[in-house]
Amino acid sequence: MGSQKVRKDAVIAADILLGASPSYFRPSCPENYGYWQQKQLVLWTEASTNWLEEHVGSNILQTALHLDEATPHIHCLWVPINNEGKLSYRSTEFGGTRSGLSKLQDSYAAAVAHLGIERGIKFSPARHQKIRQYYTAVNSQETVLDLNLWLPEPEPEETATNYRSKSIALLQTGSDAINQMLAERQRAVAQQELEREKAMIAQKYREQVEQELVSEKAALIAEQEKVSLVSQLAGCCFVLANCLQAELKTNEVIGSEWQFRVQNGCIEIKNQHGFNLQASRTDFTRSIAKLAKTELQQLADFSDLLQATVYDRLAKQKNANLEL
């Protein structure tokens, strides 16, 4: 946008919604609310993401896959910057004429055609209506019965029993229609409740999967950090062992807290708090990897102390006593 002055009523962000019919995500059971086949989901997500990159590209702020409703869908939030680098929703391909928007739908249909997804009917008069709005309309419709129009006139000297039988016969058709309407409404309400329950189950499953992924990622990061620390500690100890033998002409450092000894190809590290590690050079890294987290921290502290002590004594005099 650069130095462009933005109007107060300017569209600074827009949302693109991409989806497909339930019969694609769950071909064997389209009515199974909240369920999808993973392979179908992955292929569709990849094709849809590629289409968004082609048409919106660097203007994308966020792309989110939603799995918490009846059928998977993608929301893409983007900044409407045109080809001239200016903020102008109307001059982008998404803010054009009806025919231009229809071409966009054709383009997206072509991008997912290899998945067996077909474009909707062009220029269909059908309009989307939210489920909540639909059921509100259904429940608000009333049938007004004017009994004066339905009840027959009684005949002279007609008994109540005969009049009752005649009235039931005349009203039976209307009664059947009303009962059918009530049954349809009851089924609609039950289906709405079922869909709500399925949505809640799908949301809980999604949260569970996300939590498991977070835990697995945290465990992987912890393991990677441990491997890195083990490698550093092993390398440091080998270098210091060589310095002790080659430069200071000794194979051990014994102090009030720690003991470090190199003997017969083995490295031994002890402290006054029960830490004890003995391993050959070839098994040293493997032995460190088996240590608990607290023991690793102790070894890291010792490594820093030993390194500082050895290098300090090397700088001063090679025959000085080393203390840890």
The pLDDT of residue 267: 81
Up-side HSE of residue 117: CA atoms within 13 Å toward CB? 25
Give the angle 188-192-197 at the CA atoms, nearest 5°: 150
- Closest Cα to residue 230, out of 179, 193, 285? 285
Residue with tokens 């009962």: 179
- 204-212: long-range contacts at Cβ-Cβ below 8 A with a sequence spacing of 24 or more? 206/67, 206/68
The pLDDT of residue 318: 47
CA–CA gap between residue 309 and residue 267 (Å, rounded): 18
* Pairing state between β 73-78 and 14-19: antiparallel
165-179, 233-247, 261-275: which range is least confident on average? Answer: 233-247
Residue 252 scores a pLDDT above 70? yes
Residue 83 scores a pLDDT above 80? yes
Residue 195 scores a pLDDT above 90? no
- Cβ atoms of 275 and 287 within 8 Å: the answer is no
* Pairing state between β 258-263 and 60-66: unpaired
Residue 52 scores a pLDDT above 90? yes
Residue 10 scores a pLDDT above 60? yes
> Residue range 28-32: average pLDDT?
76
pLDDT in tens, 133-169: 555 554 554 555 566 666 778 888 888 888 888 777 7
The pLDDT of residue 319: 46
- SS in 3 state form for 153-178? CCCCCCCHHHHHHHHHHHHHHHHHHH
Structure tokens given for 264:
């017969």
Residue 286 scores a pLDDT above 50? yes
- Closest Cα to residue 64, out of 53, 52, 73, 51? 73
Residue 303: φ, ψ to 5°: -60, -45
Is the full-model pTM beyond 0.85? Answer: no
Residue 275 scores a pLDDT above 70? yes
Residue 18 scores a pLDDT above 90? yes
- Cβ atoms of 81 and 1 within 8 Å: the answer is yes
Helix (H/G/I), strand (E/B), else coil: 226: helix
Structure tokens given for 33:
């609310």
The pLDDT of residue 75: 93
**In which band, very low, low, confident or very high, does the pLDDT at 312 lie, cut at 50, 70 and 90?**
low
**In which band, very low, low, confident or very high, does the pLDDT at 232 lie, cut at 50, 70 and 90?**
low
Q: What is the mean pLDDT of the chain?
A: 76
Residue 305 scores a pLDDT above 80? no
The pLDDT of residue 324: 46
What secondary structure letter does DSSP report for 238?
Answer: H
